[in-house]
Amino acid sequence: MTRRCPRCAAELPEDAVWVCPACDYTLRTPAISKVGILFMLLGLVLVGAYVLGPESFGLTPGMVPTDLWNLMMANFPAMVAAAFAFGMLLMFAGAMFVRRERNRVAAGA
């Protein structure tokens, strides 16, 4: 059975893994982009943990060392910004990978 593009229904050659050569449709999302999405979701979880407080998550004093908890609260904006920035960086790397494949397919056509 031949594979077809979901957008234009053109038959896909065997070497078309990432991009459809007929319409430039992205066939697969790179794994690095999926990891980037997970880091951005981690940033949202961190924001929720900060807003709701540690007590709502069942963290009682003694489970997390007090010095570590105070350090995390003092640097919390930096942690959230770093999680979002790293997620965006990974998403950008995945987009550049797809763009490189798209240019390679366009140059070969």
- Per-residue pLDDT, averaged over 51-68, amounts to 66
Q: Is 61 helix (H, G, I), strand (E, B) or coil?
A: strand
89 located within any domain: yes
Query: Is the predicted pLDDT of residue 63 greater than 70, yes or no?
Result: no
Confidence of residue 33 (pLDDT cuts 50, 70, 90): very high
The answer to whether the CB of 52 falls within 8 A of the CB of 59 is no
Q: Which DSSP category does 13 fall into?
A: P
61 located within any domain: yes
104 located within any domain: yes
Is pLDDT larger for residue 20 or for residue 55?
20
44 located within any domain: yes
97 located within any domain: yes
φ/ψ (deg, to 5) at 94:
-65, -40
pLDDT value of residue 11: 92
- Per-residue pLDDT, averaged over 45-65, amounts to 71
Confidence of residue 91 (pLDDT cuts 50, 70, 90): very high
pLDDT value of residue 89: 97
Tell me the residue range of the domain where 104 lies.
31-108
Between CA 32 and CA 9 the distance in angstroms is: 27
78 located within any domain: yes
The conformational region for residue 41 under phi > 0 = left, psi -120 to 50 = alpha, else beta, is alpha
16 located within any domain: no
Overall number of domains in the chain = 1
91 located within any domain: yes
